[in-house]
């Protein structure tokens, strides 16, 4: 337990690095934010994707410490950037399902942003749909409290869960992220495009901001924009990159 506590300290060197993937406004590509994605620099094997180690960490409470380390590191990045004269756009941080089971989640997040002198409004928390399969009242209250504290909440991987529409009705959300499987099918499959067009109208009526993930082609980008999606993320625009590269890119563009 003590080791878990230590590991959440942002200066602990775990061989882990924060990468940032820009979110851009469609269609002009201006940077509107960034998602923090973890990378593990293994001394022999090189860069290891979180797709390989996050599922393992999720089998135990290690994921709680890992997510909190990412959160604290991200706060430190924002603080240090501001001190160096670089004001970064809003940063999105992934929270795993297990995190929502932690009774001290809200207090910990609020204390951590305060410790770094940050406004919670500069952080968005991304939570994958499948985290809500067992939607307990305590979880709903925790989400509401996070939002009341000032964090934005994003529903990640929208459309892949079992009751996506229920989540839209019940969860206190600001942003919905369209899963990249939808985006991948968009230009080959007319029914996928029609479905997404209807979904976009629905999300617009419910006043959610929408981000499309996994945009790889200009055709996808143009189609998404034509059906009302104003923000996107994907290899077409930028791959995830080290934080210093992101800052250079953002300030070069700004």
Residues engaged in binding Na ion (CB under 5 A) = 156, 213
For ligand G, the closer of residues 178 and 193 by Cβ is 178
Query: How far is it, in rounded angstroms, from Cα 135 to Cα 160?
Result: 16
For Mn ion, the closer of residues 221 and 233 by Cβ is 233
Query: How far is it, in rounded angstroms, from Cα 172 to Cα 152?
Result: 9
Residue 126 within binding range of Mn ion, rule CB under 5 A: yes
For Na ion, the closer of residues 81 and 179 by Cβ is 179
209 binds, among ligand G, Na ion, Mn ion, none (CB under 5 to 8 A by kind): none
229 binds, among Na ion, ligand G, Mn ion, none (CB under 5 to 8 A by kind): none
Which member of 31, 156, 182, 183 binds Mn ion (CB under 5 A)? Answer: 156
Would you call 60 exposed, middle or buried from its count of C-beta atoms within 10 A (0-12, 13-18, 19+)?
Answer: exposed
Tell me the C-alpha to C-alpha distance, in Å, between residue 55 and each of 36, 58, 83, 117, 250. Answer: 17, 5, 35, 32, 31
29 by DSSP, 3-state: which? Answer: coil
β-pair type (16-25, 231-232):
antiparallel
Residue 187 within binding range of ligand G, rule CB under 6 A: no
Helix (H) or strand (E) holding 144: helix 137-149
For ligand G, the closer of residues 67 and 124 by Cβ is 67
For ligand G, the closer of residues 116 and 237 by Cβ is 237
- Binding-site size, ligand G (CB under 6 A): 22
Closest C-alpha among 100, 41, 59 to residue 50: 41
Residue 213 within binding range of ligand G, rule CB under 6 A: yes
What residues make contact with ligand G under the rule CB under 6 A? 21, 37-38, 49-51, 54, 67, 70, 94, 96, 156-157, 180, 213-216, 233-235, 240
């Amino acid at each position: 337990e003590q080791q878990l506590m230590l590991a959440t300290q942002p200066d602990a060197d775990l061989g882990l690095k924060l990468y940032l993937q820009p979110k851009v406004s469609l269609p002009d590509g201006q940077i509107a934010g960034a998602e923090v994605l973890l990378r593990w620099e293994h001394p022999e094997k090189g860069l290891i994707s979180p797709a390989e180690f996050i599922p393992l960490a999720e089998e135990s409470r290690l994921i709680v410490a890992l997510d909190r380390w990412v959160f604290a590191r991200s706060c430190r990045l924002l603080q240090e950037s501001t001190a160096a004269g670089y004001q970064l756009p809003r940063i999105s941080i992934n929270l795993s399902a297990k995190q929502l089971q932690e009774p001290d989640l809200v207090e910990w997040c609020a204390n951590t942003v305060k410790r770094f002198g940050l406004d919670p409004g500069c952080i968005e928390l991304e939570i994958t749909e499948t985290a809500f399969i067992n939607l307990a009242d305590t979880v709903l209250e925790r989400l509401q409290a996070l939002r009341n504290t000032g964090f934005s909440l994003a529903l990640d991987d929208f459309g892949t869960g079992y009751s996506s529409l229920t989540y839209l009705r019940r969860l206190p959300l600001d942003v919905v992220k369209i899963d990249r499987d939808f985006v991948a099918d968009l230009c080959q499959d007319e029914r996928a495009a029609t479905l997404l067009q209807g979904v976009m109208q629905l999300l617009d009526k419910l006043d959610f901001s929408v981000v499309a993930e996994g945009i790889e082609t200009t055709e996808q980008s143009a189609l998404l924009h034509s059906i009302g999606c104003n923000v996107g993320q994907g290899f077409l625009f930028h791959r995830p990159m080290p934080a210093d590269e992101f800052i250079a890119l953002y300030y070069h563009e700004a």
